[in-house]
Structure 1
Amino acid sequence: MALCSFECLLASFLVLVVVCAKAGLGTTVGCIERERQALLRFKHGLVDDYGILSSWDTRDCCQWRGVRCSNQSGHIIMLHLSAPPTEYVFEYKSLRGEISPSLLDPIPPFLASLTKIQHLNLSYANFAGRLPSQLGNLSNLLSLDLSYNYGLHSGNLECLSHLTSLRHLDLNSVDLSKAIHWSQAINKLPSLIHLKLGSRGLPPLTTPSLSPVNSSAPLAFLDLSYNDFDLTSSVYPWLFNFTTTLVHLDLSSNVDLNGSIPDAFGNMISLADLDISGNQLQGSIPDIFGNMASLERLDLSKNKLEGEIPKSLSNLCRLQELNLRINNLSGPLPQVLDLLACANDTLEILYLSYNQLRGSIPDLIGFSSLRLLDLGDNRLNGTLPTSIGHLTKLQWLVIGSNSLQGNISEAHFLHLSQLYYLDLSSNSLTFNMSCEWVPPFYWLRTQKKLRYLHMSTSNISDVIPHWFWNLTSLIYFFNISNNQITGTLPNLSSKFDQPLYIDMSSNYLEGSISELPSVLGLLDLSNNKFSGSIALLCTIANTYLVYLDLSNNSLSGELPNCWPQWKSLIVLNLENNQFSGNIPKSFGSLQSIQTLHLRNNNFIGELPSSLKKCKSLSFIDLAKNRLSGKIPPWIGGNLPNLMVLNLRSNKFSGSICSELCQLKKIQILDLSSNNLSGTIPRCLSNFTAMTKKGSLTITYNFSLHNQLGDFEDQSYVDRELVKWKGREFEYKNTLGLVKSIDLSSNKLTGEIPKEVTDLLELVSLNFSRNSLIGSIPTTIGQLKSLDVLDLSQNQLIGEIPASLSEIDRLSTLDLSNNNLSGKIPQGTQLQSFNTSSYEGNPTLCGPPLLKKCPGDKAEGTPKAYSYEDDIQQNGNDMWFYVSIALGFIVGFWGVCGTLLLNNSWRYAYFQFLNKIKDWLYVTTTINMARLWRTLQS
């Protein structure tokens, strides 16, 4: 029976730790022959590119690399083949191939002969296949670790129920989705202390599984993270059997964990670590958390919790870490920090970002143990207190995306010698550092521990200093975007040796792009003044570059041909430059790419057929180039995820192939301003996404390595220029709602296919400037979401369909320069448009056109001119103007002051007012009498 196979990608290692009950002392004994043969058969199935097993050719296997034997029995007690890393942190020398069944099949002569085995660790080995039932024979096991073998699965954990001495069981990432009676097997392990069942979709518990676990089980550590079952109905009752023993509980990232937090958590008085982050929990944070006085770590992040933080948290005096980020919590920040005052000597990590907290940042000098403070993306205002500078242990400071203002001075950084992550972005802070100040750690200039620097949108207006690039070779992220920084890029190829993410977009940097670090994972230099070739980009020679944005510069020349080395690239934006030549065929190697922006350059030639290999593409914008040839059919057949296709203002010719109708996810199709001919395909109704409401944004998610070897989730929200009402508008946060077809300014013929009216969520339809004939489909009124309709400058005939007047959202309409006839349908919508929307149709009639339709009734005789009415109107007008004049005169303080001081002027003024009063009285009396006579007649 073949047990498993594995393919090592980033890291590949197999660890088998066997510790006998009694190590013993004595003379060294050579290895046992049957175990030596088992290892040789194991080696035979592997490909050893790096010579890791080169020593495995002597008689005594106990001397082989990675092998350890018992001095007493000669049995192998350890097999450790971890792969040493190369010069890059995430790149390992590795074994690959198949693992021979000789290691475990049959259990004799290898593992079954080790009857005293107590600890078995096969984690990270990339095992595949079914969990071997023979493991149940190892009855003396105290610890079993099979975690992170993603190919390993089991439909039954019953074999493990025989391991009655087992204390530690780790099956994280083992596929247990079919192990429906998993809890019953766990219940039979009375000695179990440490249990990990995370990451692979445990099934819901059946009713018999809810029976209480063996009361003698002292379970202290439980990890059920990253499963998809409904904990509320199935696992909570089983879980709360451990209220007096559990110290660590991880229920994070269970997508079906919703509703409010149950009060039963308050009974878990022994809990020191509780993680229920990344779920769908709602409501407020319950007061019961105040009962868990032993809590040292509480993580409620990434939920939907709201309301103020309860006062009961003031009881958590042992708290070392509190993570409440990414919720909708509210209340004043000073009040929140007052609640944590009990733990001010122990609190080390405080995450409160991405909430609705308000107020100013209070004095933090009492929190002397703080290592991480994250207050970003709230509604904080006021200034940054200088007491921040006295948090001597602070390593991580995030206050970005608030409304803070005031000066940042050397006092804020006076004692922060441990700082390595700094985010002050998107506030109204001003840096006011004296030129003479040399801080104890030289702040940025000679900082040796800085790893993360985020100072975007910080009103920095300066030349980037030459020493900035010598900050540290250990930095992995810096963002100084959206400032007014000037300067050039030096040669950075030798400055950094760890995965690196650089965002310097939206500044005034200029010059050419020089050699860059080979370890770049993200590079954003968009919206600057860079010029010249980008050939030196090829120095980024790694497989984890995921994001490259050089848009809105003055870069030129042909694109280099090193795209195959960036197989992980997801975002590529080179738009609004002066690139020329053909689109490289090697683009086809970008098999992870999801969005491709090349608009407004000088690319020529046909689209390379290699792009059909990029099946993850969902966004293509090649507008405003000089591309030619036919629109290739493989776009429809090979790019099933395409949501945006913009080829406008090129030189494409030929007909629109019916294969494009296979783009079921397409939301924006712009083929305007080309040389396309033939008819419009009738299969446009296959654009399924245009029949349904979409999400607000078009977003791509990706992960970046950080300095600690973990992944940080990032997202990119796409944007697009859409021609709308004669102008181009950029859509980003509402791009997903835009459903648009633009085939204007081509040479299309034939009729408008009525099938297009089946696209019920279409927002913009533009078929103008073609040679279309026939009539407007009578079902056009089905498009209730239509905002823009342009069918101008064609050869359309017939009447305007009455159903068009039923589209109440229509704000732009152009039917001009056709051969439409008859009366414009009645309805406030169509009559509200300017006459230019209908001009150029000689036989069209009715409002808003002045041309009457045959059979229209003549309008009534105009009312006769009345001299008395004219006098009355003049009197009313005079009254209006006199009132304005009087208000101005009376309110003008200068005049009033003069009248108070000058007797003769004051006398004349009051005489004038008397005359005005008399004139008004006479005028009013005459007009009232005239009006009375008019009413009587």
Structure 2
Amino acid sequence: MLIVFVLTHLACNKNSSALTSNPKISCIESEKQALLKFKDTITDDDGVLSSWGSEPDKKDCCKWWGVKCNHHTGHVTVLNLSRNNFRLFGKISPSLLELQHLKYLDLSGNLLSGNFSPIPNHHLGNFSSLRHLSLGDNPGLSGGNLEWLSYFPLLRHLDLSMVDLRQATNWLELVGNNLPLLEHLSLRGCGLPNPVPPAPPLNSSLSLITFIDLSANYLSSSILDAFGKMISLVHLYLFDNDFAGTIPKSFANLSSLQSLDMWGNNLIEQLDKFLDKLSGMEKPLQILDLGENQLSGALPDFTRFSSLEELDLQNNQLTGPFPTNFQQVLPNLYALILYGNRISGMLPNFTVFPSLVTLDLRNNSLNSMEDVISEAHFSNLSSLKYLDFSFNSRIFNINSNWIPPFQLNAIRLASCKLGPDFPKWLRNQNNYSELDISGAGISDVVPNWFWDQTPNLVYLNLSYNQMAGLVPDFSLQFSGYPGIDLSSNRFEGQIPQFPSKTFRQDSSNLGLLNFLSVLNLSNNLSGKIPLSTQLQSFNASAYSGIPQLCGVPLPNKCPGEEEGTKPPLIATGNEKKIQEEDGDRLITQGFYISLGVGFAFGFWAIFGPMLLSSISGYACFKFLDKLTDWLYVMASINLARLQRRLQS
């Protein structure tokens, strides 16, 4: 026994020593070279693949960014280059097929191009270990006819969203018959043809699939019945298609369904009958989006869907009041979107929805005069971020000392009766980026504190009230370029300065041009139109409703300006004062024609060869994007000058 113990101990020590003395396994050389070939076909402006290389400190490809290997064999099993604040540009190299042990491949969200389908079949036979394939959101990529799916029998996750699949006429049959283990299918926006023949019989019922996204494909109702056989479905996204009429009764088989999105189709059915087909048994339905259809009837009893968290029925043909037990059966509701219907009657008690984030009831018939909205309606809505009661003629009777329990991101109360006092509760709202209180019956002076808050405002509409007071210098109030409508009020003073960085060679100027395209200031403003701003680019007719203004582009001169002289243009910031010089007289139609011809010739002479190269094309297009912005801005300046000269 002693001899056996000693021999066993020695054997164990020997085996242990042998295990610890094994060198650390690194990547396979052939697979390393396959990855480097892939890198050679890719433009990587952000340096994402900087860890990839042949240098001594980069020799182990298992340590490269986005690459993972099997710890025992060294084979590459994971390649994850999905976009994360970067984008790769180029064609997918067939060298990836040499990674025969790859189980996870994700190249989604880049700018990759080429055709993924014509790959040698003998290589695909060695590529059959793949479980996860995600090539989605690469608009330049084509997937051919999808017959190559038969070489991936173990695939569980397939995402080809935005990949061109117009040639895949029998895509439903190929997916159903070749991927028996599939759990996740995303083919959003692929140009899928409607199956021919409609809804082909499937050898596999896709009984394991839990997620399907076929949105934005203009599919017809002929395939709807196929979903009723997928009994494990949890999430079904079919928005922006061409499903017409009604849904099949087989939808009642989807007992695990949690999300159903059929927004933007042509469903024509009474809402209660539609929901009857979903309720063969009590469902755990949490998200129901049926907006932008033609569903009719009254809001039904939602008792059978007590798990609902998001309900979107916008822009249908629903009528009648809220059901009496509405607030009692949806305790988890966080988004209620019913705008664009004809819902009428009393409001439910929203205080029983403490998780409510979005409440959108605009454009309905909720105009019962005895149903006044007070602070009590919002007393428990501490999570509310988006509030829209627009165009319902609701009366808001809010105590002037009320402090809301929420901080809103968007406030839309157009045509609600908020006045005559300016709503003081806005003083406690510091996060909103949108505010629309137009036509709200406010005849008060706008307090100074209002202009000092929310510097990140992107949309402000105070029009069609009787608000008064001085308009501040907007260039100091707002850091961006918000859309502003102050029309049909009683504001006084000079026309305000607006955020301006003058014209520079970057794309930010385009946002400024868009900003000015929606500017509306018709009030009792007076004085000189600020110079060196885009206000000079409008025609004089744009200021016809404000006769007290003067200066370019108006023909009437401001006090102190001599007839026939040109006022100086003052640049903002640290830029020097400039004046229009005699060289501006060269701005004629002939000048613009010459400019156009010269630009066209120079463009194709210099950039034409670059555009023929797929590798340099991306850098070229980035440069052209900047160049286009600069040319557009400079043309706008010169065109405005030309118009002023022609007018004078």
TM-score normalised according to structure 2 size: 0.67
Q: Note if contact 1:330-1:356 (Cα within 8 Å) is conserved in structure 2.
A: yes
Q: What code does the residue aligned with 1:573 have?
A: L
- Is 2:374 the partner of 1:426? no
Which residue pairs with 2:390 in the alignment? 456
From 203, 206, 210, give the equivalent of 1:272.
210
Query: Once the two structures are superposed, what CA deviation does each residue of 1:739-762 show, in whole Å capped at 9, x if it has no partner?
Result: xxxxxxxx99xxxxxxxxxxxxxx
Compute the displacement of 1:582 (Å): 4.2
Report 1:124-523 matches (<5 A): 139-148=75-84, 151-179=87-115, 181=117, 189-206=127-144, 210-215=147-152, 217-230=153-166, 232-233=168-169, 239-240=175-176, 242-254=178-190, 256-259=191-194, 263-264=199-200, 267-283=205-221, 286-342=224-280, 344-390=282-328, 391-410=330-349, 413=350, 415-430=352-367, 443-463=377-397, 465-466=399-400, 470-473=404-407, 475-486=408-419, 487-490=421-424, 495-497=429-431, 500-510=433-443, 511-512=445-446, 514-515=450-451, 516-523=453-460
Find the counterpart in structure 1 of residue 54 from structure 2: 107
Indicate the SS of the match to 2:151. coil
Q: What is the CA–CA distance in structure 2 between the aligned matches of 1:306 and 1:365, rounded to whole Å?
A: 27
Contact 1:265–1:289 under 8 Å retained in 2: no
Is the Cα contact below 8 Å between 1:520 and 1:540 reproduced in 2? no
Read off the aligned partner of 1:107 and give its amino acid letter.
S
- In 1, the alpha carbon distance for the partners of 2:533 and 2:403 equals 31
Partner AA of 2:520 in structure 1 = L
Match of 2:500 among 552, 564, 567: 564
CA deviations on 1:291-337 (whole Å, 9 max, x unpaired) are: 11111111111223211222221111111011111111111111011
Q: If you compute each CA radius of gyration, which structure gives the higher value, 1 or 2? A: 1
Residue 547 (structure 1) aligned with residue 511 (structure 2): no
Q: Per-residue CA shift, 1:853-903, capped at 9, x if unaligned?
A: xxxxxxxxxxxxxxxxxxxxxxxxxxxxxxxxxxxxxxxxxxxxxxxxxxx
CA shift for structure 1 position 286: 2.5
After superposition, what is the alpha-carbon deviation per residue over 1:16-53, rounded to whole angstroms, capped at 9, x for unaligned? xxxxxxxxxxxxxxxxxxxxxxxxxxxxxxxxxxxxxx
Could you say if the C-alpha distance between residues 224 and 148 of structure 1 is closer, same or farther in structure 2, counting changes exceeding 3 Å?
farther
CA distance, structure 1, for counterparts of residue 97 and residue 402 of structure 2? 60
2:415 and 2:439 in contact (8 A); partners too: yes
Q: Which residue identity does 1:401 align to in structure 2?
A: G
Q: Are the aligned partners of 1:210 and 1:237 in contact in 2 as well (CA < 8 Å)?
A: no
Quote the Cα distance in structure 1 between the aligned partners of 2:239 and 2:401: 38
The alpha carbon displacement at 1:359 in A equals 0.8
Q: How far apart are residue 231 of structure 1 and its match?
A: 5.3
CA contact (8 A) 2:473 2:497 kept: no
Partner Cα separation in structure 2 for residue 120 and residue 152 of structure 1: 16
Question: Structure 1: which 5+ runs fail to align?
Answer: 1-71, 76-96, 122-136, 608-621, 633-653, 663-746, 749-937
Q: Cα distance, 1:392 vs. partner?
A: 0.7
- Per the alignment, residue 532 of structure 1 pairs with 469
Post-superposition Cα deviations, 1:543-594, rounded to whole Å, max 9, x if no partner, equal 4x55322233233333333413786453432143233344434544999x9x
Distance (whole Å) between structure 2 residues aligned to residue 546 and residue 186 of structure 1 = 54
Report SS of the residue matched to 1:286.
helix
Greater Cα shift, 388-397 or 307-316: 307-316
Take 2:57 and 2:173, find their aligned partners in 1: how far apart are those partners?
41
Cα RMSD between the aligned structures?
4.3
Q: What whole-Å deviation, never above 9, does each CA across 1:479-517 have from its counterpart, x for those lacking one?
A: 1112232121559577324x6222212221232263231
Q: Quick one: which amino acid aligns to residue 100 of structure 2?
A: T
SS of 2:91's equivalent?
coil
Distance in 2 between the 1:162 and 1:245 partners? 24
What is the alpha-carbon distance in structure 2 between the residues aligned to residue 358 and residue 477 of structure 1?
29
The structure showing larger relative contact order (alpha-carbon pairs under 8 Å, at least 6 residues apart) is 2
State the SS of the aligned residue for 2:88. Answer: strand
Higher normalized strand content (fraction of residues): 1
- 1:579 pairs, out of 498, 505, 525, with 525
User: Which amino acid in structure 2 is aligned with residue 167 of structure 1?
Assistant: K
Q: Per the alignment, in what secondary structure is the counterpart of residue 366 of structure 1?
A: helix
In 2, Cα distance between the equivalents of 1:436 and 1:661?
Answer: 59
> How much does 1:236 deviate?
6.0
Unmatched 5+ residue regions in structure 2?
Answer: 1-22, 27-43, 502-507, 567-584, 594-645
Give 1:182 shift: 7.2
In 1, the alpha carbon distance for the partners of 2:471 and 2:136 equals 45
Count of aligned pairs:
504
Distance 1:104 1:368 in 2: 51
1:593-635 per-position Cα deviation (integer Å, ceiling 9, x unaligned): 9xx976622443224xxxxxxxxxxxxxx9x9999999x9xxx
- Counterpart amino acid of residue 578 in structure 1: N
Shift of 1:403: 1.4
Q: Distance in 2 between matches of 1:318 and 1:242?
A: 24
Mapping of 1:61-76 within 5 angstroms?
Answer: none
Offset of residue 425 of structure 1: 1.8
Q: Report the counterpart of residue 599 of structure 2 in structure 1.
A: none
Counterpart residue identity of residue 501, structure 1: E
Alignment of 1:423-822 (within 5 A): 423-430=360-367, 443-463=377-397, 465-466=399-400, 470-473=404-407, 475-486=408-419, 487-490=421-424, 495-497=429-431, 500-510=433-443, 511-512=445-446, 514-515=450-451, 516-535=453-472, 537-538=474-475, 540-543=477-480, 545-564=481-500, 568=511, 570-571=514-515, 572-585=518-531, 587-588=533-534, 600-602=545-547, 603-607=549-553
Q: CA offset at residue 220 of structure 1?
A: 1.4
Q: Quick check: 1:279–1:303 contact (8 Å CA) kept in 2?
A: yes
Deviation at residue 138 of structure 1 after TM alignment:
7.9
Deviation at 1:345, TM superposition (A): 3.5
What secondary structure sits across from 1:218 in the alignment?
A: coil
